[in-house]
Structure 1
Amino acid sequence: MLEYLAIALIAIGIFLLVKGLTERVEIQIPEYREEEFEERERRKVEAGGVVLIGPIPIVFGSSRMAVLALILTIVLMLIVFLLFYV
């Protein structure tokens, strides 16, 4: 039963990947004058991520997002451990 679910999820993923690659996207970029660009407010952007190379995590990003990414990675590793060994 799980084999059919796995095959269905893989097929859906491939379909969405192909659909996303073949879809045409038109981006409209408005013209900005330098005065308008300088007056716009700056926004703070935070990002973070974790790369797992075997059991060794490599954490990168701003402090808050890196901690959040590390916590999510630990939770996902526990879920995988429970599903794999139980």
Structure 2
Amino acid sequence: MEHLSIIFNVIKNLVTFNLVAVQKHEWEIFQGYGFFFLVMFLSIVLYTYWYHLYRVEKTGERNYEKYANLALSDDINDSVLENKRSA
């Protein structure tokens, strides 16, 4: 509970640009929790994106093997991978 009040005080001081009031140990606690939540957020985003790619491949909306072969068949006379309508 003490750490929660420290985090809110640091956020309040950051918003009001009163950085002199933030002590070193408070800043270290804020950085530790911030790093933890950033890693958790990025992990959730990564696994959500992975699931999206997996689901789109399984439902047949997109075939990513064509994109994997794009580097091998990169000639001027090769066919277009996807026909998209123009804007």
Normalization by structure 2: what TM-score?
Answer: 0.32
Name the one with the larger helix percent. 2
- Choose 1 or 2 for highest CA Rg: 2
Name the one with the larger strand percent. 1
